[in-house]
Amino acid sequence: MITGIIIVLIFILIAALMMMRKIPAVLALPVMAVAIAVAAGLPLTGEEGILTNVISGGALKLAGTYVAILFSCWLSQILYRTGVTDVIIKNAAELGGDKPYLISLALCAVTAFLFTVLYGTGAVAMVGTIVLPIMMSIGIPPIVACNTFLAAMSAGYSLNPANIAAITGITGVEAKDINLCAVILFIAGLLFTFVYLTYSFKKNGIKYAFAAPVKKEQEEEEVKSTYVKGWRGVLACLTPVVVVAVMLIFKLEATTVFVIGIVWAIVFTFRGKWSKFSNLIVQSCYEGFKEGAPTVALMFGIGMILNAMTAPTTQAVIKPFMVAITPHSAWGLIAFVCILCPLGLYRGPFNLMGLGAGLAASMLAVGVLPVAALSAVFYAAFRWPSQSCPTSTQVVWASNFVGYDPVTTSNPMQLPNWIVTAATVIILTFIYM
């Protein structure tokens, strides 16, 4: 019991250092994994060894997940460099005519649509540099534009195969068992975006004092426009639909789904000389992998924590403590998650891309809750920090783009996000329990 308490104290200490921004997550996660392994008494080498299982094996544990993320970033770059992303967004804006509210709704819908396949801060910047200036130029206050864009992005993320691959890799749940959860969170995210935008319009009206022109190089626009034309261009714009449909219908692995999306995009955007277009594909690969690197680095640490926490020796010493704190009923799970889900902010213990991986693994090891139920509520809690955590790279980028610091832009969203997270946790618990 004493060893278990020491491990929990290590967890809390490093979590506190991360939340105070004294140590970045990419360093904190491996340090925590090694510290927990040492405290649990794991040997240096061997089947449970710190060097062999925790560090080496942990870095490879989520290989399937981060390969899927890299391929999703590659697809993001292809859609951006061929102009597919631009065409979809601008057509959505034109559908709204001269009505700011309709334009905003259309831009939110298409942002959510795009992020069912796009992934990473690079993709956020690609879409945001088009969407945010349009929204602000029609009179939407910068903070409202930022938060609306991030809300729509997080809605799309809920259905993104890369994020679904992350939850399946971390908790071991089958993708087919979590797809319904993803659809529910997608719908909840869309409703959240719609309600927030509608409320903001009624509260603030339209403020025309701020105007931000869309800055694009004319030559770049002309080059992109050559790839998206005619019926092939229409099919290229349907790439997100194809990717999500293949995932839901055929229940394929995320990497396979993204490869299909890449091939689809290439087939329907290819024009001109193959040598020139193939260079575009290769450059998209390089840039996409670079954009995915920060998330992959986090996955190394998450895998190490998972192996350290799930080692039989660690579980033996921590189990009494985890049995005491792990809820044993549906209402207990609801209360546990709804009260503590703000700890998903700042890479805390309810953020699956942070310390949440260790907490989820330990709660699953107790064996009193269904894997699908626990995975679903952790995925629901993950939506909040992906949208409004001041340390999330997409929040930092979008906030800086509209001229504010991330704390200022995210603070108004924390209470609404808590309410929506609690509502989705209740729904998902009763579905999966």
pLDDT per residue as tens digits for the range 29-80: 899 899 989 998 899 988 889 999 999 999 998 888 888 889 988 988 998 8
CA distances from 124 to 70, 128, 288 (A): 15, 6, 12
Contact status, residue 380 vs residue 425, Cβ threshold 8 Å: yes
Q: Would you state the pLDDT for residue 216?
A: 44
What residue ranges of the chain have pLDDT lower than 50?
A: 208-223
Say whether 224 sits in a helix, a strand or coil.
Answer: helix
The length of the chain, given as a count of residues: 433
Torsion of CA 295, 301, 303, 307, to 10 degrees: -170
Q: Which amino acid is at 187?
A: I
Contact status, residue 52 vs residue 102, Cβ threshold 8 Å: no
User: Model-level pTM?
Assistant: 0.80
d(CA 277, CA 116): 25
**Joined tokens for residue 131:** 């969407």
The dihedral built from the CA positions of residue 255, 291, 351 and 145, taken in this order, carries a sign that is negative
Q: Would you state the pLDDT for residue 225?
A: 55
Q: What phi and psi values does residue 97 have, to the nearest 5 degrees?
A: 60, -130
**Percentage above 70 pLDDT, the chain:** 94
CA distances from 329 to 315, 322, 335, 427 (A): 22, 15, 10, 15
DSSP 329-397: SHHHHHHHHHHHGGGGGGG-TT-TTTTHHHHHHHHHHH--S-HHHHHHHHHHHHHHHHHH-TTSHHHHH
d(CA 360, CA 378): 8
d(CA 165, CA 423): 24
Q: Count the helix, strand and coil residues of the chain and give each as a percent rounded to the nearest 5.
A: 80, 0, 20
